[in-house]
Amino acid sequence: MATQIIMDHSGDSRHEFNPADAAALLEAEQRFNALMREGYTAAVRSPTGDPTVIRKFDPKAEETLFVPRFVGG
Amino acid sequence: MLRQLRRRCADAARRVLAAWQRFREFGFHSEREARGLALLKAWLSREQLAQYRQYRHFDVTGCHSGKRYRIRHGVSMNVCELDSLGRPLVGRCFVPRDNLVAGDVMLAQKIALETNEHGVLLVAKTFSPRWRTIHTEV
């Protein structure tokens, strides 16, 4: 199972999907694109554990984290 | 009557003090705060996690400049650029647009500095850090 984690006021919202399921994969990609349009940044962890920003949906990513846009404090 | 009132006040003060000490020792997090902290801990490197557990802050390296930043537990005015000796140099205030819990805010700041340092510093506001240099253990 792969997971999309969206940071929000509840801590985070998680959407799990089976990458082998074409319909679930399409839904995950649509969610990814919608969040990108809203200004979120998507990050995955590299094998070394470092965060890497991705701009396109990665169907092989086990965990994708979505971070809201930043503003000056 | 007055003596009884004084005794009751002393009992209440003792109970409040005991509760405060329990809070300080074990911490108290709402479910959403706990979720945020769990997510943060899952994404920190081993060194950062050890540092955070000990001091409630962790250091990150900016991806563009190689500068070191310290992210302190908090939701605003909690990021500081460090000098070569590890002392706070200048505060950098930037936060996610949405209202997030501390764990999420710190994780978002870490990812931003490690992947898009210049971009996030463009929106950040500066402030004079007034952090204590003494590490506070948790």
Condensed to tens digits (0 to 9), the pLDDT of residues A34-64 reads 999 999 999 999 888 899 999 999 999 999 9
pLDDT at B25: 47
**B-chain residues near A71 (CB < 8 A):** 94-97, 123
Name B80's bridge partners. B70, B91
pLDDT at A11: 85
Joined tokens for residue B118: 């210049």
Highest CATH level, class, for A2-67: alpha beta
Note whether A71 contacts B95, CB cutoff 8 Å: yes
String of DSSP letters for B66-103: --EEEEESSSSS-EEEE-TTS-EEEEEEEEESS---HH
Round the average pLDDT of chain A to a whole number and report it. 94
Q: How far apart are CA B42 and CA B8, in angstroms?
A: 46
Of B104, B110, B120, the CB nearest to A12: B104
pLDDT at A49: 83
Residue of B nearest to A50 (CA): B45
| pLDDT tens series, chain B, 138 aa | 778 888 888 888 888 876 765 565 456 568 888 899 999 999 999 999 999 999 999 999 999 999 999 999 999 999 999 999 999 999 999 999 988 999 999 999 999 999 999 999 999 999 998 765 545 433
Note whether B115 contacts A52, CB cutoff 8 Å: yes
**B-chain residues near A61 (CB < 8 A):** none
Of A9, A45, A52, the CB nearest to B100: A9
- Is residue A39 less than 8 Å (CB to CB) from chain B? yes
pLDDT at A70: 94
pLDDT at B24: 55
Name A67's bridge partners. A41
Phi and psi of B92, rounded to 5°? -125, 110
SS3 A63: strand
**A-chain residues near B110 (CB < 8 A):** 51
